[in-house]
Chains A and B, each alone.
Chain A
Amino acid sequence: QKEVEQDPGPLSVPEGAIVSLNCTYSNSAFQYFMWYRQYSRKGPELLMYTYSSGNKEDGRFTAQVDKSSKYISLFIRDSQPSDSATYLCAICWGGNNRKLIWGLGTSLAVNP
């Protein structure tokens, strides 16, 4: 089993839709759970991260971690065409080990 699994999509939604992006992971010792956004021909940029479990909200974006299910989610409300990108989940152990384990990324297209 891979350490992080993410459905690569592609996912296509109409403008204004609520988007749900998900990853599962295998090791319960992971502590940081991150979502990066990558536009075409650009480097990934961090959207938000959570430490341990719980929810975090930033504008139209909400990140959730369910450690009991080893499941992380990113919700995008009122999606915009500018949200069209690849969304990558990444996790790491924390402490001095900063090796990020990456999902494959989900390609999202928001259609006007």
Chain B
Amino acid sequence: DTAVSQTPKYLVTQMGNDKSIKCEQNLGHDTMYWYKQDSKKFLKIMFSYNNKELIINETVPNRFSPKSPDKAHLNLHINSLELGDSAVYFCASSQDVREGPEAFFGQGTRLTVV
């Protein structure tokens, strides 16, 4: 059973297109995250939701819009894709803040914008 699963695993698309990445966790966690990992392997948080409520919104272009239909799902929609959006996007989840800081990551979505 996959704890945090993302789809698709690979995504190749042209500049200007709109695309979505989906994430689901079956761990019963309250908090979910989207991270971006660039070509230099630097991992940077983009968004965090706790019980469907946005709690962290880093400086991310408005073209990126997260949506959490329920606490087990957090999707990422990207409008008007640009070359600089090429990266690996990781979804993660963590349990209640009182339980410890561990975040569980999905396998990543490798986005290539051409």
Residues of A at the B interface (CB closer than 8 Å) are 8, 32, 34, 38, 41-46, 49, 86, 88, 92, 94-96, 98-100, 102, 104-105, 107
Contact = CB atoms under 8 A, between A and B. Distances in A.
Contacts of A96: 97
B31 A8 contact: no
B100 interface: yes
15 contacts: A32-B101, A34-B102, A41-B110, A43-B106, A46-B102, A46-B103, A46-B104, A49-B101, A49-B102, A98-B101, A99-B48, A99-B56, A102-B43, A104-B41, A104-B42
Contacts of A86: 41
A88 B43 contact: yes
B90 interface: yes
Contacts, number: 57
A95 B101 CA distance: 10
B48 to A, nearest CB: 7
B97 A43 contact: no
A94 B41 contact: no
B86 interface: no
Contacts of A98: 31, 48, 94, 97, 101, 103
B97 A92 contact: no
A38 B56 CA distance: 24
B101 A43 contact: no
B41 A8 contact: yes
Given A42-B107, A43-B90, A43-B107, A104 B102 contact: no
B103 A100 contact: yes
B111 interface: no
Interface string B1-33: 000100000000000000000000000000100
Given A42-B108, A43-B108, A34 B41 contact: no
Contact of A41 (B97, B100, B101, B108): B108
A13 B41 CA distance: 21
Contacts of B104: 45-46
